[in-house]
Amino acid sequence: MTEDSSRATWLQQARAYLRSADPMLARLIDDRPTFDPRAWMAQLPPMDLYGALLFQVTGQQLSVPATRRTLARIEALFDGHLPSPTELLGVDPGKLREAGLSWRKISTLRDLAERLSDGRLNPDLLSRLPDEELMAELTAIPGIGPWTVQGALIIALQREDVVLPGDLALRKAVQVAYQLDHLPTQQEVLAIAEKWRPYRSLATSYLFSAALERPEAPSVAPREP
């Protein structure tokens, strides 16, 4: 079985499970028969774990278009690609500031790069950790919170059971989809998402897709501690 056919089989099973588990998701899925949950990632530059974390940190408190503009300026500093930890440490921090990163974000990315470069963090070992353990390792770094790690889990590691309850766009998408009379809290999003296990990443992708189809769709990521 090829990787593509294996992926197609998995996607069919996951869609069937979510249809059965949640009538609201069943409507979203049936309305989007050709939806590819990975299509949006094809618009991003290739990313390893550090690149995905850089992308997420860059996007804190920014809209999606603003994040992409800043990312493009960062890539321009490194001959058109996202920097490795060693490359980021080798550039003048002032250049990163000129590219659009705040000093707080620069400090976070340099701290992370130093830990990956000096052996305090091993990217290969990190990539093999269960979600909760990886979350604990990375959120110990100032400026990296759950939202940042959750995004990296999906983008770089393609983990299948991740939800981003702190994402404003997702919370508003849940509010609209479930016809709630209030913006759900993070705990309410997590409670709703329990029925999506073990396919919370796919369910989240459908909700993001529905949100992006609305012209007033929010796209500002949270600030993390």
Report the C-alpha gap between 127 and 125 in whole angstroms: 5
| Residue 40 resides in a domain | no
- Residue pLDDT, tens place only, 167-205: 888 999 999 999 999 999 999 999 999 999 999 999 999
Residue by residue, DSSP assigns the chain as --HHHHHHHHHHHHHHHHHHH-HHHHHHHHH-TT--TTGGGGGSPP--HHHHHHHHHHHBTS-HHHHHHHHHHHHHHTTTSPPPHHHHHHS-HHHHHHHT--HHHHHHHHHHHHHHHTTSS-HHHHHHS-HHHHHHHHTTSTT--HHHHHHHHHHTT--SS---TT-HHHHHHHHHHTT-SSPPPHHHHHHHHGGGTT-HHHHHHHHHHHHHTSTT---PBPP--
pTM of the model: 0.85
> How many domains does the structure of the chain reveal?
2
Q: Is residue 191 part of a domain?
A: yes
User: Going residue by residue through the chain (225 aa), what tens digit of pLDDT does each one get?
Assistant: 676 788 889 999 999 999 999 999 999 999 998 888 887 777 777 889 999 999 999 999 888 789 889 999 999 999 999 999 999 999 999 999 999 999 999 999 999 999 999 999 999 999 999 999 999 999 999 999 999 999 999 999 999 999 999 988 899 999 999 999 999 999 999 999 999 999 999 999 999 888 777 655 444 456 565
* Domain membership of residue 187 as a residue range: 3-35+161-212
| Residue 120 and residue 78 share a domain | yes
Instruction: Judge if 136 and 192 occupy the same domain.
Output: no
CATH of the domain at 184: 1.10.1670.40
Using the Cα atoms of residue 30, residue 199, residue 193 and residue 217 in order, give the sign of their dihedral: negative
